[in-house]
Amino acid sequence: MKDTNDNLLKAACRSWRDVVAGTPKGVAARTPRPYLACCLLAVLLATTAYAGPALATCESRPGEGPEMVVIDAGAFEMGENPTRRVTIARPFALARCEVTFAEYDRFADEVGRAKPEDENWGRGNRPVINVGWEDARAYALWLSLRTGHRYRLPTEAEWEYAARGGTTEAYWWGDEASHEFANYGKDECCDGHAEGRDEWINTAPAGSFPTNPFGLHDMHGNVWEWAQDCWHDTYDGAPDDGSAWLSENNGDCSRRVLRGGSWDFSPQFLRSALRNWNTAGDGSVFVGFRLARDL
């Protein structure tokens, strides 16, 4: 019965949180009444408490972009100890899922680019790995030319704003890490770990875990995600409008920001506020990306 109800829930509406808690940030427009009725039906059929969709296809059709979620403009406290007030000045769209091998391989085939190794973990709907910042930027440019939309990497501030989904705890679900909500490693560094919903020692298929309150999968764990920003050791002098922080204030653009943690890292690296970096030209088995899009 549960599988049937889950399928009905997905078919009726992407997220019935809209009905029980009001439309959150991250939803493009208010739900029409007929659509609301379908959502209400799905709520009545569901037998478990809402924790976001259990699984998403996370696939885009050839020549089309990924499924995007509109993230409304707003303000939030960025970072931790101390935090700083940042206002996301303009709405933007963020991909519901990380870019998969299937999506990246279409790009590589079309432009004659070498395909990244999958480490024998599988391609298809697993998040692409072994891609550097330059590879991610090239993919975004290619997709922009194919679709007529402006795709790009999210800024560091946009990423954290979207990852938090309006929450203030360490993770969008609370202050305690949980393998029910994310794919990450052992509590003590460093190795993959399978427990509970987290069945994978390495990368999990994109969309295998519940969405956050903005409707985004895998903002914590699975793979680190590239951001636009150049690396700065602190936030001193950082913009407060959500824009990318590049070479200003001695930014090191040979290194680019990573966010979100990965399958091999311990849970403290998954915190919404945690910052990391990698050399822009280097790929890694721990690193992938997701796309943002200008509206």
How many domains does one find in the chain?
2
Do residue 39 and residue 169 come from a single domain? no
Do residue 63 and residue 43 come from a single domain? no
Identify the domain boundary among 50, 70, 87: 50
Do residue 83 and residue 126 come from a single domain? yes
Do residue 8 and residue 127 come from a single domain? no
Do residue 145 and residue 12 come from a single domain? no
Is the pLDDT confidence value at 180 over 60?
yes
Do residue 62 and residue 31 come from a single domain? no
Do residue 19 and residue 80 come from a single domain? no
Is the pLDDT confidence value at 34 over 80?
no
Do residue 202 and residue 283 come from a single domain? yes
- Rounded Cα distance between 85 and 146, Å, is 37
pLDDT band at 56 (very low <50, low <70, confident <90, very high): low
Q: Identify the CA nearest to 259 among candidates 274, 240, 245, 246.
A: 274
CB 180 within 8 A of CB 174: no
More confident residue, 185 or 11: 185
More confident residue, 265 or 188: 265
Q: Looking at residue 285, what DSSP letter applies?
A: T
End-to-end Cα spacing for the chain: 40
Is the pLDDT confidence value at 22 over 70?
no
Do residue 281 and residue 184 come from a single domain? yes
Do residue 248 and residue 110 come from a single domain? yes
Identify the domain boundary among 17, 33, 50: 50
pLDDT band at 131 (very low <50, low <70, confident <90, very high): very high
For residue 255, give its domain range: 58-293
CB 79 within 8 A of CB 235: yes
Do residue 132 and residue 247 come from a single domain? yes
pLDDT at 60: 80
Residue type, 62: P
CATH number of the domain enclosing 253: 3.90.1580.10
Is the pLDDT confidence value at 32 over 60?
no
DSSP string, 176-192: S--TTT-B-B-SSSS-B
Q: Identify the CA nearest to 220 among candidates 164, 168, 293.
A: 164
Do residue 81 and residue 143 come from a single domain? yes
Is the pLDDT confidence value at 125 over 50?
yes
Identify the domain boundary among 50, 66, 88: 50
Q: Identify the CA nearest to 170 among candidates 270, 274, 82, 271.
A: 271
